[in-house]
Amino acid sequence: MTKTPLTVIGLGPMGRAMSAAFLRAGHPVTVWNRTPAKASGLVEQGAVLAATPAEALAAGDLIVLSLTDFDVMYTIIEPATAALAGKTVVNLSSDTPDRAREAAAWAAGHGAGYLSGAMMASPDLVATEAASAFYSGPRELFDEHAATLSLIAAPDYRGEDPGLGPLYYQLVINIFWTTMLAHVQTIAIARANGISATDLLPYALSATESNPHFFPQMAAQADAGDYPSDLERLSMGLISVEHVLRTTAEAGVDTTLASAVAEVFRRGVDAGLGEKGFTSLVETLGAKS
Ligand code: NDP
C-alpha cells in the first residue's frame, strides 16, 4: 500500500524525532527547517530537504508542524499559504487553546484541513510506548490519519473543538511546572538550612508520591461542588501554608511562590470556605470577578 507522503516543518529535537519515526515506517518524508543543517541526519535516512516552505508544503499530503509556537508558524507558512489547499495540517507546536481555534479557522480559510496536536513526551520517547499525544479537530480527519500519527505516539483524541488538544496539554503541563517549581523552592529552603537536595530527595519523593492518593477524592468533590472537610480543612491549610511562608522567609529564600500559595488559601477563608475541604478553593480560583 502506498504510504502517505508527509512533510515535517520544524526540525528541533521533536521534529527530528518525529521525522525519523515516519521514515522508519517507510513514509516519503519532506522536511524544511530555518536552519537547514539540522536536516542532515534525516536526509541520510532518506528525507528530502525542501528549499522553501512552499516546496515542502507542496510535497506532502499530511503536513506536520513542530515549531516553537504559532507566531513562528505564521512567520513560516503565511508567505506560502497558496500551497495549503487540499492539505491536512497537523500542528504539534505548543500554544494556547484560543490560538489553536484561530489557527484552525486560518487553515480552513486557505482550504486546508486542520488537526491540533500536543505531544506528551520528550523527543527521546517519540515512537516508544511511553509517548502519547492529544489531538482535536474534525473526527473524520483524525480517523483518516490516526494510523500514521500513531507512528510517533499513541493518539488520544479529545474532541472536535480544535482548542481541546492544546487545552489538555496545558492542563497537564500546569500540574507539571507548578509541582516542579514547588520542588525547586523546597530545595532552596533546604539548601539555605544546610540540607542538600540529595538528603532531601527521599522526603521529596514521599511527599510527591502521596499526592495522587488525594486526586480521586478531590475530583469527586470538585464535580459534586461539595467539599466536606474530611480531606483537609481549608482553615487548617491556611495555618500550615503560613508556616511554610515564614519558614521560607526565615531561610532568606524568595517568598514569591509561598506568598502566592498563602494568598490563595487566605482568599478562600475570607470567602467563608474555612470549614470546608481545601478543594473548595476551586470555587474562589474559578470565580470570575
Ligand atoms: P525547538 O524550540 O528546539 O524547535 C523549534 C523549531 O522552531 C525549530 O525548527 C526552529 O528552527 C523553529 N523556529 C523557532 N523560531 C523560529 C523562527 N523565528 N523562524 C523560523 N523557525 C523558527 O523545539 P522542540 O523541537 O523541542 O519542540 C517543538 C514543539 O514541540 C514545541 O512547540 C514544543 O513546545 C513542543 N514539545 C516539545 C517537547 C520537548 O521535550 N522538546 C515536549 C512536548 C512538546 P531552527 O532549528 O532554525 O532554530
All structural domains of the chain with their residue ranges? 6-160, 168-285
Residue nearest to atom 42 of ligand 1 (CA): 122
Residue nearest to atom 16 of ligand 1 (CA): 72
Residue nearest to atom 34 of ligand 1 (CA): 94
| Predicted pLDDT at 231 | 72
DSSP-assigned beta bridge partners for residue 8: 31, 64
Q: Which residue has the cell 482568599?
A: 267
Query: Which of 14, 73, 74, 77 for a ligand 1 pocket mutation test, highest count of atoms within 8 Å of Cβ?
Result: 14
Encode pLDDT of 269-280 as tens digits.
Answer: 999 999 999 999
Encode pLDDT of 1-36 as tens digits.
Answer: 689 999 999 999 999 999 999 999 999 999 999 999
Side chain identity, residue 44: E
pLDDT < 50: residue spans in the chain? 289
Torsions phi, psi of 246, nearest 5?
Answer: -70, -35
| Predicted pLDDT at 288 | 58
What residues line ligand 1, using a CB cutoff of 6 Å?
A: 10-15, 33-35, 38, 66-68, 72, 75-76, 92-94, 119, 122-123
What distance in angstroms lies between residue 175's CA and the mean position of ligand 1's atoms?
A: 22
Residue 53 CB-half CA count within 13 A:
22
Side chain identity, residue 140: E
- Concatenated DSSP letters for the chain? -PPPPEEEE--SHHHHHHHHHHHHTT--EEEE-SSGGGGHHHHHTT-EE-SSHHHHHHH-SEEEE--SSHHHHHHHHGGGGGG-TT-EEEE-S---HHHHHHHHHHHHHTT-EEEEEEE-S-GGGTTSTT-EEEEES-HHHHHHHHHHHTTTSEEEE--SSTTHHHHHHHHHHHHHHHHHHHHHHHHHHHHHTT--HHHHHHHHHHHHHHHHHHHHHHHHHHHHT---TTS-BHHHHHHHHHHHHHHHHHTT---HHHHHHHHHHHHHIIIIITTSBGGGHHHHHS---
Residue nearest to atom 39 of ligand 1 (CA): 122
| Predicted pLDDT at 289 | 47
Homologous superfamily (CATH) for 6-160: NAD(P)-binding Rossmann-like Domain (3.40.50.720)
Torsion 48-51-57-58 (CA) sign: negative
Nearest CA to 135 out of 105, 167, 112, 98 is that of 167
| Predicted pLDDT at 96 | 97
19: how many CB neighbours lie within 10 A of its CB? 30
Q: Taking a C-beta distance cutoff of 8 angstroms, is the pair 49, 154 a contact?
A: no
Q: Using only C-alpha atoms, what is the Rg of the chain?
A: 23
What distance in angstroms lies between residue 116's CA and the mean position of ligand 1's atoms?
A: 16
CATH code for residues 168-285: 1.10.1040.10
What distance in angstroms lies between residue 179's CA and the mean position of ligand 1's atoms?
A: 24
Atom from ligand 1 closest to the CA of residue 75:
19
Can you read off the three cell numbers belonging to residue 22? 515516519
